[in-house]
Structure formats: structure tokens, C-alpha cells
Amino acid sequence: MSMEFLVASAIAVLVAGGVYLSLRGRTFQVVLGLTLLSYAVNLFLFATGRLIANRPPLFVDGVTGYADPLPQALVLTAIVITFGMTALTVILSLRSFLDSGTDQVDGRAELDQEEAP
Amino acid sequence: MMMLMEHLVIAPVVIPAVTAPLALLAMRRRRRVGLAISLIGCFAMLCAALALFGTAQDDAIRAYPLGNWPAPFGIVLVLDRLAATMLVLASILALIVMGHAVVTSADRKGWHFHPLFHFQMLGLNGAFLTGDLFNLFVFFEVLLIASYGLMLHGQGAARLKAGIAYVVVNIVGSALFLIALGLLYTLTGTLNMADLGRRIAELGPQDQGMIRVAGLLLMTVFGVKAAVVPLHLWLPRTYAATMPVVAALFAIMTKVGVYAMIRVVPLVFGADAGASAWVPSPWLLPAAVLTTLLGFGGVLAARGLREAAAFAVLGSTGTLLMSVSGWSEAAMGAAMYYLVHATFAGAALFLVADVALRRRGQYGDAAVPTPRFAGQEATALLFFAAAIAAVGLPPLSGFIGKLLILKTAFGAPGWQAVWGTVLITTLMGVIGFSRSGSAMFWKSSGSNADPIAGCVRSPLEFAAPTALVLLLAGLTFSAGWAYEQARATAAQVFAPARYVSVVLGGETQP
């Protein structure tokens, strides 16, 4: 199987899982979903420089082919930002759980009891 | 002196970036020093913005390459009429809101109001100035992260619940933004807006499908920021749950989304872009019509003043986008005028809600009759002025804005929808606001009821909403001048070739 197919399907699976989880009703699952989604986005951004192996991103004597260094810089920025965001969401969900006593995204505790058999 | 003027372009980004940490450090020990730093920062930002606005009057576009790296390789800041107008708008609003927060001690409800406020301004000013799409993403994140903190300022369970929804929606929006940027980068190999516009025009037919996807994704992200139906669900809850002072500052946040559309679409997906030219236009008008209807419908149904103000912001953004979605120079001129008006009107409504909230004791901002409260007449007067501005009745500038939108839309495709929506929603807004206004200020719950006792409130609280109403009145009296400015801005927006040549050619004069 080609590298393109592998990377593309990995991104697709991550996005599918991320979307499913972030549509769930509980904050923990939503946080996990957002994390998966951001992994997928980072992989996707990384792949925008085309998938090339064994090429230097910086100037080296005697080398003709280079990997694109810009997506790597973009991914780094994106990783830092999403990491901070995830930390914030975790703290926020925790505070909301402690304040309202429920981990439902819309903060309604009664939904829990309705769902329970 | 010449050197200083040249570098003034970066001042709106540097000033808040310096003010925020200084305020943070000073606030811990000496509150007064921190306050002074924060207020001076706001004032300096306004001065810089006004100076830049004056500079932009000569119709030249100025590119400021950061670190002297030439565009498309380095990041550029670009100053044109659109950027200068948005900067002035943001700084005026910031100064007024900050003044109100200090006077009402709203900034003491939590720890870091002042630093967060200035980081928010850093993000806003940067987003208005940048000429690079990835840099726009970074500044969006800066303003969003600060806005999460501000939104939760003062805390409380309702605020936390609304906060989670707000954060999650925006994180998903950021993910979409990155995907759109990735697509654009794969196809064109650049993220500089001027360079993008040039390269998209050169793309072959095999890439047109992808570029349409990228363009529509980008518009979706801006739509989330601007709260366009069906991406609006986060707005009413967030704005109604947060402190009204913060919500008044957020009145410009939806306009950032609109600004991004105005900046990116004519430049990147403009008339030269081949098959992807004006890619969002078939979707934008219906979405804007629905947004307007839903916004003013919400005003009609709102149970409290903050809720009504939040829906009015939604409705005014929709009205604004209806004009933008025509993508013509004339309509854009009207839109620019209405944009300035809508920001001030939305903020004024929230500040009036804040004043009412503080004076009505346990009744809060609910649209119910109450016993007399201190300063009822002044609050009522300000409320009616703000409401008249928000729905667009004469004599305030909303009327002129809506008139311009109707006039410039006439004859364009879909103008019947624009006319119908504007006229119907104005009526809905009038009914909604007069209902809640008369319930709150005119009806009284029994003449012999005791007046609401509360601590004595300083009349200084009325200063900020009054200032906004006076600004709206000024916008009405100087409508000729303001509309000239708006039209010149629109003319610049619809001549992207000059922008491209200035940014890429390195020239500073046309």
C-alpha cells in the first residue's frame, strides 16, 4: 500500500472518531473528540508539504531535492495552540462538573436519569 | 520622525502586547498603577489608530514587512482604509468599554480582567492588520483565547455552561480553519493573501474543485465567527450569559468574521479567480436573510434585556451580511457604514443592560415591571436611544445605514429578499424592543410599592452608554463624511490589483 493511502486513511479514521466523539453529550468524550480532531488536522497540515522521505528541509551541500519546511513550522504552531486549547477545555469541564454536579455538555443533570434504565 | 511614522503600523499590535503583561505585573501589588497602565494603553491604542486612519486618508496602501523579510516569504502587515477603519472602531469601543468596566468595578469580579482585555485587543488589531492567512489564524486564536477568559470573567454556573459550548464551537472552527489553510497551501504553495490571489487565478481546471472546497471551508470558519445561521447557535447563549461589559466588547467579535470575509473574498476569490470567483456568494445571501430573521425574531421573543441585545447583535450582523453578499462596490460602501453603526449600537444595548441590571436588584434584566429604581428615567432614555439605533429608526444612524443598504441593493440579484427582510425585521425589532422597554420602564408594579433599595450608584455609570449614543448621533450628523469614507474603503477593497502590487512589489506608494 502506498504511503499516501495510509496517511489519508489514518486522517480519515481520526476525523471520523473525532467528529463522533465531539458530538457526544459528556464533556470528557467531547474533549477526547477534539483531541482526535486536532491530531487529524496536524497530520493533514504536515501532509500538505507532500509526502517525501529522506530529504532535508534545510540547505545542505550537494543535495538537490528538499522537503517543504513551511508545513512543519505551521504544524508546530498548530500543535502548540491546540495543546493549550485542550488544557483549557479540560479545566473548564472540570470546573463545570464541580460547580453543576453533572458532566453533560449542556449542564442538564436530569438527562442522566432519563437515560438510565 | 519619518522612521517613527513608518513603524507606526505595528503600534496597534505592540501597544496591547506591552500593556497586558505590565498591567498583570502591576495589578498584583498596586491596583491603581495597574489601572493607570491599562487605561493609558487603551488611550495610546486609540491615538495610534487615529494616526493610522489619518495616514490612510491619502488612499495609499502601505505594506510593513516584519523583520524586513519581503512578502510572500515574510509576514506583512498591510495598512489600507479597511484596516484603519476597523482599528479605529475597535480602539474607540475598547476605551469606552474599559472605562465602563473601571467605573462599575466590573473588572474586580475576577483576577485578570485587564491583561485579558489587552490580549483580546492584540488579537483584534493583529487580525485587522495582517496580510498573511496563517497569521490571521494565529491572531484569531489570540483573540479567542483571551475571549474565553473574558467570557468566564466573574464566573457562575450559567456562564461556565455557556462557556464550554463557546470554547468547543471555536476549537472546531479553528480545526476547519487549519484544514482550509492546508488545502490552500497544497494547491498554491503560499499563504500570503496577495500572493494567493495571484496564484489562484493561474490554477488549472483540475484544481478548481479543491479550491472551491478550500474557499467554502474558509467561509464556514468566518461564518462561525460572524454567527451566520446555521452556525449561530453559540452566540445568544454566550452573550446573554457573560457579563454585559464583556458582551459589549464582543459586539466587535462578530464583525471580525465579517471583516475577514470582506478582506479575503475580493482579494483571493475575486473576479480574477476563474471558476472559483465569488465562491461563497450563492450561500451567503440566504444565510444572511435567515440570520436577520432569526435575530430580530429572537428580539421579539427575548425575556431579558441581555438576551434581546444578543439577538439584536445577531440580526444586525445578518443585515450587514445581506449587504456584503452583493459583492458590489456600492453595496460594500453601505455595508461599511452599517458595520460601524452596528458595532456601536450592539455595544450600547449591552451597556444599557448592564446599567439596568445593576439598578433593578433582584429583578435583574428581566422584561417585567418593577417598583421604581434609582436613575429609572436616565436608564429608560438611554435604552430607547440604543433600541432606536439597533432597529434602525430615525433619527439615529441605523436608519441611514438601512436606507443605504436598501438603496444599494435595489436591482441587484435577490434584492426583493433584501428589501423584504430589512423591512419586516425592522418592524419585528420595533415591536420586540417597545414591548420589553415598556414592560421594564413604563409599567410599574403598583404605585405604593417601595422603591428598590440598593446601594447608591454613581451617575458615572451612565457615561459609557451615553458616549456610545453620542457617537451614534455623531455618525448620523456626519453621515456624509462617514459615507464618503465607507465608499472610498469599498473602492479600495474592490481594486485588489493595487493591494497585490504593493504587497508583492514592495512599493509603498501607488
Written as one string, the DSSP assignment of B414-470 is THHHHHHHHHHHHHHHHHHHHHHHIIIII-BS-TTSPPPP-PPPPGGGGHHHHHHHH
The distance from CA B412 to its chain's CA centroid, rounded to whole angstroms, is 26
B165 alpha carbon, distance to own chain's centre: 20
User: Which 8-state DSSP code applies to residue B192?
Assistant: B
pLDDT at B420 over 80: yes
C-alpha cell at B465: 452608554
CB–CB contacts below 8 A, A to B:
83
* Long-range contacts, stretch B65-71, CB < 8 angstroms, 24+ apart: B65/B506, B66/B10, B70/B506, B71/B131, B71/B192, B71/B194, B71/B195, B71/B503, B71/B504, B71/B506
User: Do the Cβ atoms of B383 and B441 come closer than 8 Å?
Assistant: yes
In this prediction, what percent of chain B has a pLDDT beyond 70? 95
Instruction: Specify whether the CB–CB gap between B497 and B194 falls below 8 A.
Output: no
Q: What residues contact B66, with CB distance under 8 A and at least 6 apart?
A: B10, B74, B75, B76, B77
Convert the pLDDT of each residue in B138-156 to its tens digit.
999 999 999 998 988 877 7
Whether A102 contacts chain B with CB within 8 A: no
| Cell numbers describing residue A23 | 458530538
A85 touches chain B (CB under 8 A): yes
pLDDT bracket for residue B222 (50, 70, 90): very high
Please list the residues that pair with B429 across neighbouring strands. Answer: none
**Helices (DSSP H) in B104-207: which residue ranges?**
113-129, 133-151, 157-188, 193-202
- For residue B127, pLDDT over 90 is answered with yes
Determine the pLDDT at residue B429: 93
CB–CB contact A22 B168 (8 Å)? yes
Reported as a single tens digit per residue, the pLDDT across B457-484 is 678 888 899 999 999 999 999 999 999 9
Contact B164 A105 (CB under 8 A): yes
Distance (Å) of CA B420 to CA A8, B151, B389, B414: 47, 35, 20, 10
Segment B184-220, tens digit of pLDDT: 998 888 888 888 888 888 887 888 888 888 889 999 9
* Residue B269: per-residue pLDDT: 87
Distance between CA atoms of residues B375 and B39, nearest Å: 27
Q: Residue B509's pLDDT is what?
A: 42
Closest of B229, B241, B350, B147 to residue A107, by C-alpha: B241
**pLDDT reported for residue B277:** 78
Provide, as residue numbers in chain A, all residues whose Cβ is less than 8 Å from the Cβ of B134: 74, 77
What pLDDT digit, counting tens, does each position of B391-419 carry?
Answer: 988 888 889 999 999 999 888 888 888 99
Collect all residues of chain B within an 8 Å Cβ-Cβ radius of residue A50.
186
Give the residue carrying C-alpha cell 449542556.
A106
Task: For residue A99, give the nearest of B160, B168, B171 by CB distance.
Answer: B160
- B334-366 pLDDT tens trace: 999 999 999 999 999 999 999 888 888 777 788
CB of B240 closer than 8 Å to CB of B321: no
**B19, pLDDT greater than 70:** yes
Query: Does residue B508 carry a pLDDT above 50?
Result: no
Contact (CB, 8 A) for B389 and B488: no
Residues 6+ apart with CB under 8 A from B330: B408, B490
CA separation, residue B333 to residues A45, B62, B323, B485 (Å): 37, 21, 9, 8
Paired residues of B444 in beta bridges: B370
Nearest CA in chain A to B234: A106
**Placement of cell 486522517 in the chain:** A11
Task: Specify the pLDDT at position B4.
Answer: 74
C-alpha grid cell for residue A74?
Answer: 505551521
Q: Is the pLDDT of residue B1 over 80?
A: no
Q: Do A45 and B186 touch (CB under 8 A)?
A: no
| More reliable by pLDDT, A49 or B227 | B227
Cell digits for B251? 459586539
Angle B491-B410-B391 from CA coordinates, rounded to 5° = 90
Which of A53-57, B234-238, B388-392 shows the lowest mean pLDDT across its residues? A53-57
Kindly state whether A104 is in contact with chain B, defined as any CB-CB distance less than 8 angstroms.
Answer: no
The Cα B327–Cα B281 span in angstroms is 8
**B233 near A CB under 8 A:** no
Instruction: Please give the model's pTM, rounded to 2 decimal places.
Output: 0.92
Residue A115: exposure state from Cβ atoms within 10 A (0-12, 13-18, ≥19): exposed
Burial of residue B87 (CB within 10 Å: 0-12, 13-18, 19+) is: buried
ipTM metric: 0.89
* pLDDT tens by residue, A23-38: 988 888 999 999 999 9
**Which are the contacts of A96, defined by CB distance < 8 A and separation ≥ 6?**
A27, A103, A107, B157, B160, B161, B163, B164
Residue A105 confidence (pLDDT): 76
- Are B168 and A107 inside 8 Å of each other by CB? no
Predicted local confidence at residue B327, as pLDDT: 87
Specify the DSSP class assigned to residue A117. Answer: -
Identity of the highest mean pLDDT range in B205-214, B304-313, B497-506: B304-313
Q: What is the mean pLDDT of chain B?
A: 88
Phi, psi of B79 (to 5 degrees): -110, 115
- Nearest Cα of chain B lies from the Cα of A88 at a distance, in angstroms, of 9
pLDDT reported for residue A21: 93
CB-CB under 8 Å, B138 with A81: yes
Provide the grid cell at B400: 441611514
pLDDT at residue A46, as a whole number: 87
CB-nearest to B161 from A50, A84, A96 is: A96
The verdict on a CB contact (< 8 Å) between B161 and A38 is: no
Of A40, A88, A105, the CB nearest to B165: A105
Closest by Cα among A79, A11, A2 to A48: A11
Residue-wise DSSP of B90-101: HHHHHHHHHHHH
CB proximity B167 to A under 8 Å: yes
- Going from the C-alpha of B216 to that of each of B284, B316, B495, the distances in angstroms are 10, 23, 22
A37, A92, A99 member nearest B167 (Cβ) = A92
CA pair distance A18, A16, nearest whole angstrom:
5
The per-residue pLDDT for A4 is: 86
CA distance B352 to B209: 48
B198 and B504 in contact (C-beta within 8 Å)?
Answer: yes
Q: What's the burial of B328, exposed, middle or buried (CB within 10 Å: 0-12/13-18/19+)? A: middle
When pLDDT is cut at 50, 70 and 90, the band that residue B454 belongs to is: low
Whether B275 and B210 have beta carbons less than 8 Å apart is answered as no
Cβ distance A85 to B171 less than 8 Å, yes or no, reads: yes
SS3 state of residue B79: strand
**Chain segment B440-453, per-residue pLDDT in tens:** 888 766 655 666 66
Write the pLDDT tens digit of every residue in B74-119.
Answer: 889 999 999 999 999 999 999 999 999 998 888 888 778 999 999 9
B169 touches chain A (CB under 8 A): no
Q: How many residues does chain B have?
A: 510
| Among A27, A32, A44, the residue to mutate for chain B (most B Cβ within 10 A) | A44
Buried b (16+ CB within 10 A) or exposed e, B125-156: bbbbbbbbbbbbbbbbbbbbbbbbbbbbbbee
The more confidently predicted of residues B41 and A116 is B41
* Closest-CA distance of chain A to residue B182, Å: 5
